[in-house]
């Protein structure tokens, strides 16, 4: 009889959440381009969303990796956890870059009025 794998859902979800963190800010920017009602500055709502999703992906990847180690590899998911962590870090980096861009914009607006 064949032994069934325990599974590692957290590792798989880390990939999904990591990919969502990567696309959060670009999707918010694209939404402002499609809408006449919103300006580019309104896309800043994607910054905290991307940041939180990125952190969530890294935490899920960490837990998925821990499950892999606890089950001595029977749960699988080590590669998925690595991809989820990488995607999460990329999402965090995109959010931080957006935050820096927003800060520079704010500083330039402040200096313009001063």
C-alpha span between 56 and 50 (Å, rounded): 10
Quote the mean pLDDT of the chain.
Answer: 92
pLDDT in tens, 46-99: 999 999 999 999 999 999 999 988 888 787 888 999 999 999 999 999 999 999
Query: Is the pLDDT higher at 114 or at 11?
Result: 11
Predicted TM-score (pTM) of this structure: 0.88
b/e sequence 91-111, b meaning 16+ C-beta within 10 Å? bbebbeebbeeeeeeeeeeee
Please check whether residue 78 is in contact with residue 11, taking contact to mean a CB–CB distance below 8 angstroms. Answer: yes
C-alpha span between 67 and 70 (Å, rounded): 5
Q: Where are the domains of the chain?
A: 9-113
Q: What is the pLDDT of residue 6?
A: 60
C-alpha span between 56 and 74 (Å, rounded): 24
């Amino acid at each position: 009889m064949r032994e069934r794998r325990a599974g590692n859902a957290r590792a798989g979800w880390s990939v999904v959440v990591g990919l969502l963190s990567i696309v959060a800010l670009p999707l918010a920017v694209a939404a402002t381009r499609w809408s006449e009602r919103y300006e580019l500055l309104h896309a800043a709502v994607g910054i905290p969303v991307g940041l939180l999703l990125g952190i969530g992906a890294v935490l899920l990847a960490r837990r998925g990796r821990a499950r892999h180690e606890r089950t001595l590899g029977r749960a699988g998911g080590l590669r998925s956890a690595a991809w989820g962590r990488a995607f999460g870090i990329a999402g965090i980096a995109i959010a931080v870059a957006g935050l820096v861009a927003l800060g520079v914009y704010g500083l330039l607006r402040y200096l313009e009025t001063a």
